Chain A
Amino acid sequence: MKRHTLAVLVENKPGVLARISGLFSRRGFNIESLAVGVTEKVDISRITIVVSGDDAVLEQVKKQLNKLIDVIHIAELAPNSSVSRELALIKVGVDATTRSMVMQIVDVFRARIIDVSTDSLIVEVTGSKGKIASIQRLLSQFGIKEMVRTGKVALHRRSQTAADTMPEELQRPIEE
């Protein structure tokens, strides 16, 4: 099954996320990751959804999402024409001997340490799903006490934007 990354531009209103997550669960679509946040326009939120399924599933996902009144536009982000990141915060148990070993791994992954205590470090790492999985695997030997991850966020490369494919008339009011 293929993974597809969708940027869904929605009205920045309460309840919109529930409409979208409800749609996915009742239609049996698989969400692998979901991230939501405001955009450069105050009245629009952007939801980045990673969905798995074949092309027919993807087509249904897009069509069904489009039927939601609060969904303004959907753009697909192909891997070769977009950049994407996930972020993880990983709390690792350390002592005097292991602290430097953890710090070496953090350096290699160009991650950062954002909190230090006598017996733990919090590592911030951004990157692809694979990169986060790798550092997680390496840090697990020291004992991961707690971990949190965001969903994937993505943008088109170069000057392309998700709104490029939006029909022009979307901005115009409908005359009765």
Chain B
Amino acid sequence: MAEITGAEALIESLENEGVEVIFGYPGGSVLPIYDELYDASIRHVLVRHEQAAAHAADGYAQATGRTGVCIATSGPGATNLVTGIATAYMDSVPLVAITGQVPRSLIGGDAFQEADITGITLPITKHNYLVKDVEDVPRIIKEAFYIASTGRPGPVLIDIPKDVTTDTLEFRYPQKINLRGYMPPKGVDVEQLREAAQLILRSERPVIYAGGGVIISNASSELLSLAETIMAPVTTTLMGKGAFPDTHPLSIGMPGMHGTKYANYAIQESDLIIAVGARFDDRVTGKLESFAPNAKIIHIDIDPAEIGKNARVDIPVVGDARAALSRLTGLVKEEQPRTGAWLDRIKKWKEEFPLQYKRDGLKPQYVVECINELYPDAIITTEVGQNQMWAAQYFNCTRPRTFITSGGLGTMGYGFPAAIGAKVGVPDATVIDIAGDGSFQMNSQELATAVQNNVPVVVAILNNGYLGMVRQWQELFFERRYSATIIEESVDFVKLAEAYGAIGLRVKEPEDVKAALKEAVDSSRPCIIDFIVERTENVSPMVPAGAAINEILDLE
């Protein structure tokens, strides 16, 4: 059998894993790998900053359900991936990050472009590898994809010294994986589900609290079945948005800090919380001791460590959400739901406390509503801050994998490269990044990526000339001392788009919003729309930090 190089083995292993696209940026330590990529079948999307490679791979993974792959060189290339890897880790996104490393003989000697990236990423990867022997390349790639995509998914980093990529081996791709320390739960504990079913049958005021795990396990239709069987309202978290149709009568929208009042009231008044693939994040629970005070809690999660980590749990169910929901529905379907009075109360709350804003001037919420009206099937990505919350509040998702956002880490600059990744993964979709003028500037250089690789995404900047969410907190809690949050007229986004060869549009009036959106989408080119919105609009309602979630305020 002929010997091939480590770089060839790497590419061949990726092909074996069915990788169709890599987001990356070349450099000295990955030259041999890039030389192999030159005529490989795998598409390479060249980004302009390695952080964007990780976010694009993340967006690709969330949009497609496949594992995203990014690559960077040693040292600064690798450290630039760090924010993207941490983002994927917090949101349980399957990602394989490949980094070059200095030759083995130089490791530890502070060589040029050397960074201990396995050490650096220890707390933000599900696992990582430093490849010390070329013979290990196929096995490590196989393990990395397996670990990244199974159980609770997450990023896996593979650090490959340059001389490992030029060493040779007899290539054989392994068929089996032998990881005795890693056994993601396969089944679901039926006894626990039986107890859960008993609680459900006794409950009169249940709330299903669905998180990103429902989307990851492709359990949306199972969630719908359970909700309709037991007639329970469903609140979806930021990461769970799309797991349950926002337009469904049983949907009560998002819980927590900027959730709907009726979701928060329902949680606080409920006698049973059925948590699925959600992790009781502080933005959801508010003051933990006051969260759902009268409710028993069923917690379904594939990661046992999530159960009991934050909230007290009455019935823990470790396992895949899809299997668990489907079995649970089977266990309760014979009984008639008794939630009529409960649903009536929720309906009244919905009527009394709808999401609302004053319609004067060009409002950011209105822009989101227009996007929703014109492109209800679009894949939406968001940046982080007010733009993200308005997108979550006013865009109604009806399908999973259509709302892609940095929920856990809250990474500004995420949405645009994630949109590029999503569009590469789902080329037929309309992909719109709902952005703020602050966040967009954190990765605006990716306009070059979108133009060069012909990835026609739309960036809808809700431009208020502020770092809006921080400004909102300064308004509410820091006596309107707008320290370092005023960024008005710092950049002309239309000219910026044009400078990169993209289309730039500007909208100042509500009546021009839809036409601009249509022009952008119809252009089939990368496009920025600079929506000059009301500057001091706040995200409302809001639970102040540290308060119980029913202490939710309307803001002007």
Contacts and interface: CB of A to CB of B under 8 A. Distances in A.
A174 B175 contact: no
A175 B305 contact: no
Interface stretch (A67-75, A114-122, A136-144): A67-75
Nearest to B181: A72
Interface in A54-73: 56, 59-60, 63-64, 66-72
A37 interface: no
A173 B178 CA distance: 4
Interface string A138-162: 0000000000000000000000000
Interface stretch (B116-124, B409-417, B449-457, B528-536): B116-124
Interface stretch (A18-26, A100-108, A126-134): A18-26
Contact of A69 (B123, B175, B181, B304): B181
A19 B119 CA distance: 9
A28 interface: no
A2 to B, nearest CB: 17
Contact of B180 (A18, A59, A60, A72): A72
Contact of A67 (B146, B176, B303, B308): B303
Q: How large is the interface on A (under 10, 10 to 19, 20 to 34, 35 or more residues)?
A: 20 to 34
B182 interface: yes
Interface in B168-212: 175-183
B177 A170 contact: no
A64 B233 CA distance: 32
B305 A26 contact: no
Contacts of A174: 146, 176-179, 183
Nearest to A71: B181
Contacts of A176: 175-177
Contact of A70 (B146, B177, B181): B181
A81 interface: no
B305 A22 contact: no
B309 interface: yes
Nearest to A16: B181
B179 A59 contact: no
A70 B305 CA distance: 16
A169 B183 contact: yes
Contacts of A67: 126, 303, 305
Contacts of B177: 173-174, 176
Contact of A18 (B122, B126, B303, B304): B122
B127 interface: yes
B147 interface: yes
A176 B175 CA distance: 7
Nearest to A175: B176
Contact of B181 (A11, A23, A56, A173): A11
A173 B142 CA distance: 13
B176 A59 contact: no
A18 B183 CA distance: 22
A97 interface: no
A64 B304 CA distance: 9
Interface string B263-291: 00000000000000000000000000000
A69 B179 contact: yes
Interface string B294-325: 00000000011100110000000000000000
A68 B123 CA distance: 11
Nearest to A15: B118
Given A18-B122, A176-B176, A64 B183 contact: no
A169 B181 CA distance: 11
Contacts of B119: 18
Contacts of A22: 122-123
Contacts of A23: 123
A80 interface: no
Contacts of A175: 176
Contacts of A60: 305, 308-309
B435 to A, nearest CB: 32
Contacts of A26: 123
B181 A59 contact: no
A63 B180 contact: no
A63 B304 contact: yes
Contacts of B122: 18-19, 22
B308 A59 contact: yes
A150 to B, nearest CB: 25
Nearest to A10: B181
Nearest to B151: A67
Nearest to A9: B181
Interface in B119-173: 119, 122-123, 126-127, 130, 146-147
Interface in A67-106: 67-72
Interface in A27-49: none
Given A18-B122, A19-B122, A69 B182 contact: yes
Contacts of A72: 180-181
Given A18-B122, A22-B122, A56-B308, A68 B175 contact: no
26 contacts: A10-B181, A15-B118, A22-B122, A23-B123, A56-B308, A59-B308, A60-B308, A60-B309, A63-B304, A63-B305, A64-B305, A66-B305, A67-B126, A67-B303, A69-B147, A69-B179, A69-B181, A72-B180, A169-B183, A170-B180, A173-B177, A174-B178, A174-B183, A176-B175, A176-B176, A176-B177
Given A69-B182, A167-B183, 5 more contacts: A11-B181, A68-B127, A174-B146, A174-B176, A174-B178
Top-10 shortest CB links A-B: A63-B305, A173-B178, A69-B127, A173-B176, A72-B181, A170-B180, A69-B182, A174-B177, A69-B181, A63-B304
